[in-house]
Amino acid sequence: MTSNKKYKNLRKISIIASLILVIISPILFYLKSPVWYYPGVLGVWLLFDNLSHLRKNKTTLDLILKGDYKKFVILYLTLLLFGFLIEGIGSLLLKFWSYPKLWSYEPLSKLIFINTIGYLFWPSILMSFRETFNVLYSLLKNKVLSIVASMIIGIFIWEIPNTFSKDWIYKFPYSNMEIFNINIIIVIAWTILIISPLYIYKILNIKS
């Protein structure tokens, strides 16, 4: 099998995987599973990665499919560290949000395992933000509009369902203003979630 044919086959597999994961996620949401977004994170990343690929962009998944494993590992660890910083500062230090369902698992070994897995998904969701932006930028040709549109998509996929499931609870002092039951600070903070991975990719010299 030629490398090009192998690449195309792996791309097809990733598309199928993305659809399966994206379907599993709302099923788990319906079943009130507190880990419904775990498969969703991977599925959304693979989905937008393939959409970005169709727009002729170089994508994150290309690093794996084309054998640039070292760069992918460096990217993954950098995004993981960034995810740790977000959780460490926002959740643990400032207590702006919490995960009551994830933090209620027993015994302690299960709690640690489930929550550790959650941290490991941070790079995937940040990768999905980067690919979402690239898809939109290839269509809109405007960075500001692409960032705003990426924010709207991210909020629709992740924050809107959470207004019903309450898997993570926000507590912001001095701010009660909401849009669709989502605190305005969260809406604004999504600019950081979208822009930060773009800069991380740029620093690591991973081009699209």
CA–CA distances in Å: residue 15 to residues 39, 75, 150: 14, 22, 21
Q: Supply the pLDDT for residue 104.
A: 85
Nearest partner of 155 among 193, 122, 127, 121, judged by Cα: 193
Q: Supply the pLDDT for residue 93.
A: 93
Structure tokens at 133: 């932006």
Q: Supply the pLDDT for residue 2.
A: 63
Q: Supply the pLDDT for residue 193.
A: 95
Q: Supply the pLDDT for residue 109.
A: 85
pLDDT in tens, the chain (208 residues): 568 889 999 999 999 999 999 999 999 999 988 889 899 999 999 999 999 999 999 999 999 999 999 999 999 999 999 999 999 999 999 999 999 988 888 888 888 888 888 899 999 999 999 999 999 999 999 999 999 999 999 999 999 999 998 999 999 887 788 888 888 999 999 999 999 999 999 999 998 8
